Amino acid sequence: MLLELARINKRFGAVVVADEVDLAVADGEALGIIGANGAGKTSLFNLVAGVLKPDSGVVRLDGHDITGLTARARCKAGIGRTFQVPRPFESLSVFENLLVAAQFGGGDHRGEADECAEVLRHTGLLGKANGIAGKLTLLDRKRLELARALATRPRLLLLDEIAGGLTEAECGELVALIREINGEGVSIIWIEHIVHALFSVVSRLVVLEFGRKIAEGVPAEVMARPEVRRSYLGIEEEVA
């Protein structure tokens, strides 16, 4: 397994954001996570990325315990992430945003310019490479989130609602890109409300509710389960 979470618990006062969560992602796999607002999805990412430390439980990467590692160390270990609300380095150019990631998260420092240019071409930002990141449109900001995460050369990519707020066409473009990245061997965990986009990429789905994992499996099957429909879609089964 590339990533393993074993019995992760995390609470903020009375609010439980992770309740005995077990999760495993294989090399090259794409896993989707859904859940209502406040289900603990982003907190789960923060636990994986090292921004939060669990109250109990173990996070493993390649079988090594990384629970005690900082966010920075986990980036270097191969975990890349995007933020739900894009957080570009606004005063830097698009290229400089990637350069930071390549120089600090990406291991050796040779050929960074070529590497960044390659990621920029891939994500459709090459033409805007020397423009200021703070002036980008929403779609380009989302692309930049993705590009910057890719510049750290991750083995596992955490995508947090990257399709939210985009038009149908923009969303389609982004999905094609994510599928391509996954096809190149990068494992993906994707939190998304736009279910049709999510399902065209992921092969497995996890549903969270109040920090608990309530369902896991093939997307279509999981979505058909009554507890998922009730929790996520708010649909009560009709009484016969």
Partner 1 sequence: MRYGIAISTWNSRLILIAAGVVVILLAFAPVIAPRSLIQDLILIFVMCAIAQCWNLLAGYAGLISVGQQAFVGLGGYGLFALIILAGVDPLLAVLLAAIIGTLIAIPVGLLMFRLQGAYFAVGTWVVAEVFRLLLAQWKALGGGTGNSLPRTATTEMFGLSTINALFGVRNAVGREIVIYWAALALAAAVVGASYLLLRSRIGLALSAVRDGETAAESVGVDITRTKFAVYVFAAFGASLAGALYFLDSARISPDSAFTVLDWTAYVIFIVVIGGIGTIEGPILGSIIFVVLQSSLSDYGPWYLILLGVLGIAVMLVAPRGLWGTFSDLTGIHLLPTRRRLVPLGETPPTREA
Q: Which residues bind partner 1 (CB under 8 A)?
A: 49, 51, 70-72, 75-76, 80-81, 83, 87-93, 95-97, 99-101, 103-106, 112-114, 116-117, 120, 129-130, 148-149, 151-152
Instruction: Quote the least distance from Cβ 136 to partner 1, whole Å.
Output: 13
- For residue 13, the number of C-alpha atoms closer than 13 Å in the C-beta half-sphere is 0
Instruction: Quote the least distance from Cβ 141 to partner 1, whole Å.
Output: 12
Judged by CB, which is closer to partner 1: 39, or 147?
Answer: 147
Counting every residue, how long is the chain? Answer: 240
Judged by CB, which is closer to partner 1: 162, or 223?
Answer: 162
- Bridge partners for 10 per DSSP: 18
Judged by CB, which is closer to partner 1: 31, or 75?
Answer: 75
CA of 144: how far to CAs of 55, 68, 162, 165, 194, in Å? 33, 29, 11, 15, 20
Instruction: Quote the least distance from Cβ 123 to partner 1, whole Å.
Output: 14
Task: Using alpha carbons, select from 219, 220, 203 the residue that is nearest to residue 29.
Answer: 203
Judged by CB, which is closer to partner 1: 2, or 99?
Answer: 99
CA of 65: how far to CAs of 49, 61, 74, 110, 183, in Å? 13, 7, 11, 30, 27
Instruction: Quote the least distance from Cβ 55 to partner 1, whole Å.
Output: 21
Q: State the Cα–Cα distance between residues 88 and 57, nearest whole angstrom.
A: 32
Range 4-33 burial, b when 16+ CB lie within 10 A, else e: bbbebbbeeeeebbbbebebebeeebbbbb
| Alpha-carbon radius of gyration of the chain | 18
Judged by CB, which is closer to partner 1: 46, or 231?
Answer: 46
- Confirm if 57 and 9 have CB atoms less than 8 A apart: yes
Q: State the Cα–Cα distance between residues 221 and 32, nearest whole angstrom.
A: 13
Instruction: Quote the least distance from Cβ 109 to partner 1, whole Å.
Output: 8
Judged by CB, which is closer to partner 1: 36, or 51?
Answer: 51
Instruction: Quote the least distance from Cβ 158 to partner 1, whole Å.
Output: 9
